[in-house]
Amino acid sequence: MSTERKNLLLRLDPAVHDAISRWASGELRSVNAQIEILLRDALKKAGRLPKEVAPLPRRGRPPRT
């Protein structure tokens, strides 16, 4: 499993960025993580997600004890 990450410049409509930012905030994620989750879900739905892609680590607040 590789931890190497690729950089990508992505230009978004400000309203789209704002919507993703609000969604990410509600999920306790960064905008970057939210976009990656959306892309992975779309690839999986289309049957194009490679099997060797490692799952993303779970992020957010730790559970209450």
- Do the Cβ atoms of 33 and 59 come closer than 8 Å? yes
Query: Is residue 3 situated within a structural domain?
Result: no
pLDDT score recorded for residue 1: 47
Range of the domain at 51: 12-57
Instruction: Answer yes or no: is 38 within a domain.
Output: yes
- The answer to whether residue 50 sits within a structural domain is yes
Query: CA 22, CA 9: separation in Å to the nearest integer?
Result: 20
pLDDT of residue 41: 96
pLDDT of residue 5: 85
Residue 30 or 63, more confident: 30
64 within domain boundaries: no
Contact 34, 43 (CB under 8 A): no
Chain centre to alpha carbon of residue 26: 13
The answer to whether the CB of 56 falls within 8 A of the CB of 33 is yes
**Assigned domain for 43 exists:** yes
pLDDT, tens digit (0-9, with 9 covering 90-100), for 20-59: 999 999 999 999 999 999 999 999 999 999 999 988 877 6
Q: What confidence score (pLDDT) does residue 30 get?
A: 93
User: What total number of domains does the chain contain?
Assistant: 1
14/60: higher pLDDT:
14
